[in-house]
Every structure is written in structure tokens, then in C-alpha cells.
Amino acid sequence: MAAEAEVLTVATHPTFQRQGLARTCLRDFLSHLQQMAAEKVFLEVAEDNVAAKSLYSKEGFLIAGRRKGYYTATDGTKSDAIVMQKLLH
């Protein structure tokens, strides 16, 4: 296993949101990474995704950087990507 890992996508169908499913999946993934001796994990989240940023912060992720104008909405507006990381040791 590499020393670093990345979360690509965490999504919950709207019918099942707010039930802790994303938190459970994230925790299971982080536990697996620790068992595999990964040292840190990264992810990106849209700046305006308040729920996801809250989840990641509560799970110990810290802001590591920003990608300006990274996401483009269907109406053409752009939003920044917040790069977050968590140390796993």
C-alpha cells in the first residue's frame, strides 16, 4: 500500500441522506487505510458543499489547499475545490 490515499467520491442517494451512511462508509475506508499502513489521505470538496465539509472536518480532515474555479455548475458558475487531508498515524 502506498503511504498516501485519496477519496475520489462519497455520495448518498437523496432518499437516504442524513442517516449516517456516508460517515459509516468514510470511517470504514479510513479504518482499512490504517490497517494497510497508509499515512495520510486526501480529498477534494466543493467550497459550497457545506454538508460534506462538515462531515470531513468532524472526521479529522484539515484544509490543505484550494483549487480556484475547479468545479463548474450547470449554469456555468465556478466554485473552488477545497483540498483536505487527514493524517492516519
Describe the strand order of the beta sheet including 4-6 as a list of residue ranges: 4-6, 40-46, 78-87, 62-72
4, 6, 39, 44: which is the annotated catalytic residue?
Answer: 44
- What is the block-wise mean pLDDT of the chain (89 residues), using blocks of 10 residues? 86 91 95 93 95 95 97 94 95
Looking at 4, 6, 56, 59, which residue is catalytic?
56
User: Are residues 84 and 61 in contact, defined by beta-carbon separation less than 8 angstroms?
Assistant: yes
CATH number assigned to the domain covering 4-87: 3.40.630.30
Domain boundaries, the chain: 4-87
Mark whether 70 is an active-site residue: no
Establish whether 44 is a catalytic residue.
yes
